[in-house]
Structure 1
Amino acid sequence: MQEKLVKVKNGVYEHLLFDQVDEDYKNEPSTLLDMFLRRLKKNNNSELFGVIKNDSVKYITTEDFYRKFKKIASFLFTETKEKELIGIYAVNCLEWAIVEYAGYLVNCTNVPLYSTFQPSALEYVLKETEMKILFASSQKANNLYETVLKRDNDLNSQNISSLEKIVLFDRDENVRKLYEEINIKVMFFDDLLEKNYDEDSEDIELDRRPKGSDTATICYTSGTSGTPKGVVLKHSAFCIHICGYKIVSAANLFPPSESVTYLSYLPLAHVFERICFTVVMSTGGRIVFFRGNPKMLQMDYEIAQPDFIAAVPRVLNLFEERINETVSNLNFIKKFLFKVCLWWKRKCVRKGNVKSWLVDKLVFNKVSKKFGGNLKYCLTGGASINPNTVEFLQSTLCMKIFQGYGMTEGLAANIVQPISDIAMDNVGIPFTSCKLRLKPVESFPYENYGELLISGKSLTSGYFKQPEKTEELWEEIDGEKWLKTGDVFKFENDRFYCVGRVKEMFKTSYGEYIVPEHVENCFVGGCIEDIYITGTRDSDSLCAVVVSSKKEWQEEDKMLKYIRDKGMQLAQIRKITKYEIPKAVYVINTPFMELENGELITPSMKKRRGKLYDYFKEEIESRLKK
């Protein structure tokens, strides 16, 4: 039986500890800088950041980090105005964090650029923000030059980039020459750290300290449709979220973060990683940066030995595939032993136990060691995940996986499962710093269904330079502003369940509403590495575009039979209905992200459904006509 943790009054859903956040926040820091300084004061010798070198982790202390970012802050103090926008373009690394906190010390706003942004998105962000200083790795700087700035210069355009200076995290003379040819000054990060700036920098702290109402960051959405939007997030929004986390952690509803080791590999440009990173950093944990190569991620796990991670469903799907591939290469006896132990372990997980002494010793401790051997908690979000994958990984990696839901505009954490939950088909309860509503929608005229609306002090203040879009973001109810998410949820048994996007639902010729993301999530896994399901108003059936790299599954008839058989099994246990089973299939062996220069998928790995349909239109429509 799930613990009752939600109070409902007049259609508003709140965490039972919601009121405590406002009370506790009165005694909390109101800026991310002050959050850090409190940790520094409490224990300046605690290990904070780790960098993997020569297959081991080298840590720096909180005091070391403070000294480094004060040096960069001294540079920014002379080169920027208060509240100026500074860009960061790199995969997660120590330098990234140094620039972030250096900016806070002089009250500048950071603008992270997704490392997977397409040229059109990079160009758009540079133009809209008018940033003058960019910190970047040489690899990303070279990409920016080749895809945007070089063309801009060749066309003699004067209105794309306001960039005047670029600071390279790594020394690359070739990149320096490229930028100097287009009159952009280049500096190297190490040179700034070595320069004899004022060590105390007391004048900086006094002159340009941020307030809670100041903007900490502008996070650009990855954009499933249209151009990216810059989501403005204040210091106070982060701090209220952190306060809320501390409250539920103290109540043993969330994992403790004071002594955890966290592996940072999801893009810091994404608010999901950003809030996890900030919570661990602010509350006493330590953070290890991956080495920047996704292909080496499992090795990074082995070396860093994290006990807490954040993961999007695609990463967890890859973990499952990797484990299954290893098992498939075992001899008959070992393979049989694995299957028997997995059967038993799944039974344990369904009772809430992710550890079982005997089967863990026989099999699963060895599997867990391939991922560091110390994993205890994993928070997953960003998209729906197959409950079977969650159960499999909890069984094999001996860690608790808890799910959440959030949006960039809501600072990621809006609904999160308590770690005590056993059920894997829901996303949890309102986060302590949020209030929720369900607004009725035509396609789901049922009680406790509706579009999710969010209210609270941890939300965005709007979109950067887009007042009309900002206005569209909100709905006023009884004098209170509510953030429109565009996602349909149901509330049942004291938990929220994500149904799907309002704008992505479609109706078949039979008048049945289809929620494609839910159906796709039920089918993905095994021979189906990814799947896009769609239909038309003129058709009474669905078509699935399936990604499978395995040769034996390239035959459409074989894949269609598999989908129909699995669909009937899912229908029998009421995961889907019979009319949601695809009647046509088109199989490809190339991931969606590798088609059309990556334009079919967002940087956060969400499907751009309109573009996917246009790309596969001929194959989809020809198959649905048969």
Structure 2
Amino acid sequence: MSLADSPTDSYAYVASRRDSIRSHLRRQMVQVDGPKVEGETAVYRNALASNALLKPIEGASTIYEIFEYRLRRIDKSKRFLGKRSPGPVDPATGKPTWSDYTWESFETVSQRRLNFGYGLRKLWADVIKGDDNEKWTLGLYAHNRPEWVIADYACQSQSLITVSLFDTLGPESIEYILNHANIKVVAASLLLVPKLLKVAHNCPQIKLIICMDPLDDTALVPGLPRAAGVVKQWAAEKGITLVSFKDVEDLGKAHPLSVRPPKPDDICSIMYTSGTTGKPKGAILLHRNFGSLCSSRLTSLDFSDNDVYISYLPLAHIYERSNIVLSTFSGTSIGFFRGDTSLLFEDIALLRPTVFASVPRLLNRIHAAVLQKTVYSGNAITATLFQQALNAKLAGLQQGHYTHALWDRLVFNKIKGLLGGNIRIITTGSAPISKDVLGFLKVTFCCDVLEGYGATENMADGSLNWRGDNRNYGKVGAISPCCECKLVDIPDMKYLSTDQPFPRGELWIRGGSVFAGYLHDEAKTRETLTEDGWLKTGDVCLIDQNGRIQIIDRKKQIFKLAQGEYIAPEKLENIFVQSPLVAQIFIHGDSLQSELVCIVVPSPDQAVKFAIEKGYLPKSTPIPEAIAQGQAELPEQLKALVANEKFKQDVLNDITSLAKINKLAGFETPKAIFLDTEVMTIDNNLLTPTLKLKRDTARDKYQKQIEEMYATLHASRSISDVAAKL
């Protein structure tokens, strides 16, 4: 039997081949026969689906069908969505107490999403005065919580479209998305309703806000107690109807309708890219995109109804959204964090998940925290024991062993407790992760850590490491089984499909998980999608001898120096941030300059330790914590240190050393540095909601410092020129 012979059974066929192919570690991608196009590689497919691209599983081509598919195949009383609820304030701390996780079953969630969907249609007719046949958009504006998922699945049962808004967005972005997507109804948490009301005068189409929290003055909402009445009055003054989530469910229960299932080619969601430059773009995602995602991702991840997933990455981002849909299809229990990342590890300890999807930013923090308590603890015995255990397990990892009878019991079981002790799969994406951190996490948590690649435009389903491939450092695995790919020449950057030993070029992807285009933006759609369906990713990749993709550059974020050399700043930043003295870095250069300069936010704990050792700070100086998410400024003890010219030179020297270690060209090494005490955050508009650097904003903010650094470099060069002539 071939894949092409039985398309409806393609998932089962691929799953049956998966282990046999992986056990021999054969090429993970294979070339497809066809005419050779000049300036391009051949087309590649995943070795698991070499004959034909994987299709959605029969009966699971839409999100509505995905939910129903699982509902028919699972004990309906099984726990599905879990959360922790706030209780009375603890008088000793002044903070609310929290419950254990409480759960709603698949059956309960199923009925709630139907009731909510019916209630939405009733309110559309009564409040908006809209046509019941219209496929309108519902805005979702909240941190991760059961109501977000229930509202989303309610819309999918009624052929409505959801538009997600990051709960960290500023007023300009909120206003832009609400108007761009013509959103008239928003479901939001009580804490975020005031943000909607503040921009309502510029969004006159908004007529209805559904509050995910109770709208009574007995409601316990952390950060906003006893304020629901004030919000209701404010909404009324704006001419906006404000109802609670429960009100909508009760309305639907009292006025039951029939479901209105979508078709695979119907629009499911508009997801806005966070974007490092310019206004966000609304990516149009179809139901069949989610169907393709499930069939292809399960060939790699094998989620099951025995798994528990912790949901903390933003649901407004495709990475987390795809994980939620995949978990639903698999019957996996989903526990939500409390919305505060500083409390995340408390939630994890209580939930004890088996699956953990994360990003390098957090995984790097875990890596640093473990090293701080072991290698850098100051205890020679602890450091030696840990290093011996680490070396032994890294050696075993090359033989495919994740566990060790002695060292796990003595050392690593306690570390595993950081993530609850039950983790069997960790996935990471959104940015590169270093080889050292990846191997470290595999042996300390005794499980696969799979690096993946994707974007909103391909459902975060570009590629993923194969499980058990421990030679994959720096690689992101094979193309998704529902897609095919090729590399296209970029002559200006000297990346060619004929390069040796491996072909290089821009990665193009085509297949089931590729989006349908950008909302109201034909020009950007034509720039990104070809007429024959290829998604031009803008990522520069190579394909190695084992058929694995490696991202080596970014086409859209390059700039040219005065001498004509191209610079990929993100690649350099990912190298230089490995310095223990660097917490954040922004590399700048342009076509009028021949050298790079950089802005650095020092790492508080490591910088202070280093400064004490060098004698820049007194030995009694307290060691601060590492930068936490949301932190606005560095601790006081660093504010004097950043002005110390010797320390500044030390940081630059460390960056220069990393450049040499990584064999960077001289023009890729910054020649001047400015140290700042202000942390780059979402709030100061220097980071996107997905924590990527906004280059245009950073350039504008640091324009004065950039000009001063170049003026100093030019003056220094002029003095050197004069001295050379004497």
- TM above 0.5: yes
Does 2:462 align with 1:430?
no
Q: Deviations over 1:348-373 (max 9, x none)?
A: 34554332232221122111112211
Does 2:143 align with 1:101?
no
Report the AA paired with residue 515 of structure 2: T
Residue of 11, 14, 24 corresponding to 2:45: 14
Equivalent residue number for residue 611 of structure 1: 697
Residue of 415, 418, 437 corresponding to 2:463: 415
Does 2:264 align with 1:264?
no
Q: Identify if the C-alpha distance between structure 1 residues 177 and 198 changes in structure 2 by more than 3 Å, giving closer, same or farther.
A: closer
Equivalent residue number for residue 17 of structure 2: none
Residue of 45, 49, 53 corresponding to 2:77: 45
Deviation at 1:577, TM superposition (A): 3.9
Q: Secondary structure at the match of 1:402?
A: strand
Q: Is this contact kept in 2: 1:222–1:228, CA < 8 A? A: yes
Equivalent residue number for residue 179 of structure 1: 235
Q: Secondary structure at the match of 1:485?
A: strand
Residue of 68, 81, 86 corresponding to 2:138: 86
Q: Identify if the C-alpha distance between structure 1 residues 291 and 26 changes in structure 2 by more than 3 Å, giving closer, same or farther.
A: closer
Deviation at 1:271, TM superposition (A): 0.5
Deviation at 1:527, TM superposition (A): 2.6
Equivalent residue number for residue 590 of structure 1: 678
**Highest CA radius of gyration, 1 or 2?**
2
2: distance between equivalents of 1:622 and 1:589? 18
Equivalent residue number for residue 500 of structure 1: 553
Residue of 162, 177, 182 corresponding to 2:205: 162
Residue of 100, 108, 116 corresponding to 1:56: 100
Deviation at 1:428, TM superposition (A): 1.3
Residue of 538, 542, 558 corresponding to 2:647: 558
Equivalent residue number for residue 218 of structure 2: none
Equivalent residue number for residue 3 of structure 1: 26
Residue of 503, 507, 513 corresponding to 1:452: 507
Equivalent residue number for residue 523 of structure 1: 576
Q: Is this contact kept in 1: 2:139–2:165, CA < 8 A? A: yes
Structure 1 gap ranges (5+) = none
Q: Secondary structure at the match of 1:142?
A: helix
Report the AA paired with residue 38 of structure 1: Y
Cα-Cα RMSD? 2.3
1: distance between equivalents of 2:599 and 2:194? 35
Q: Deviations over 1:88-129 (max 9, x none)?
A: 100000000110111111111011111111211110111112
Report the AA paired with residue 457 of structure 1: G
Deviation at 1:65, TM superposition (A): 0.7
Moved more, 223-232 or 49-58: 49-58
2: distance between equivalents of 1:389 and 1:45? 40
Deviation at 1:559, TM superposition (A): 4.9
Deviation at 1:70, TM superposition (A): 1.5
Equivalent residue number for residue 113 of structure 2: 69
TM-score scaled by length of structure 2? 0.78
Report the AA paired with residue 621 of structure 1: E
2: distance between equivalents of 1:335 and 1:513? 43
Does 2:164 align with 1:121?
no
Report the AA paired with residue 481 of structure 1: G
Report the AA paired with residue 304 of structure 1: L
Report the AA paired with residue 679 of structure 2: P
Equivalent residue number for residue 319 of structure 1: 366
Equivalent residue number for residue 13 of structure 2: none
Equivalent residue number for residue 191 of structure 2: 139
Q: Is this contact kept in 1: 2:463–2:480, CA < 8 A? A: yes
Deviation at 1:567, TM superposition (A): 4.2
Q: Is this contact kept in 2: 1:167–1:188, CA < 8 A? A: yes
Q: Superposition pairs for residues 384-423 of structure 1, below 5 Å?
A: 384-422=432-470, 423=472
Report the AA paired with residue 582 of structure 1: P
Report the AA paired with residue 587 of structure 2: I
Report the AA paired with residue 6 of structure 1: M
Q: Is this contact kept in 2: 1:523–1:563, CA < 8 A? A: no
2: distance between equivalents of 1:366 and 1:474? 49
Residue of 525, 541, 544 corresponding to 1:489: 541
Does 2:407 align with 1:359?
yes
Does 2:496 align with 1:443?
no
Q: Secondary structure at the match of 1:274?
A: helix
Q: Deviations over 1:560-599 (max 9, x none)?
A: 435534643563464x3454332222222332116xx432
2: distance between equivalents of 1:425 and 1:66? 41
Q: Is this contact kept in 1: 2:63–2:290, CA < 8 A? A: yes
Q: Identify if the C-alpha distance between structure 1 residues 491 and 370 changes in structure 2 by more than 3 Å, giving closer, same or farther.
A: same
After the TM superposition, which segments of 4 or more aligned residues of structure 1 sit over 6 Å from their partners?
none
Q: Is this contact kept in 2: 1:83–1:108, CA < 8 A? A: yes
Residue of 193, 197, 200 corresponding to 2:253: 197
Name the count of aligned residue pairs: 602
1: distance between equivalents of 2:318 and 2:164? 10
Q: Identify if the C-alpha distance between structure 1 residues 30 and 388 changes in structure 2 by more than 3 Å, giving closer, same or farther.
A: same
Does 2:700 align with 1:622?
no
Report the AA paired with residue 426 of structure 1: K
Q: Indicate the percent of aligned positions where both proteins have the same amino acid.
A: 29
Does 2:392 align with 1:381?
no
Q: Secondary structure at the match of 1:355?
A: coil
Q: Is this contact kept in 2: 1:427–1:495, CA < 8 A? A: yes
Q: Is this contact kept in 2: 1:564–1:582, CA < 8 A? A: no
Deviation at 1:425, TM superposition (A): 0.8
Q: Superposition pairs for residues 461-472 of structure 1, below 5 Å?
A: 461-472=516-527
Residue of 204, 211, 227 corresponding to 2:279: 227
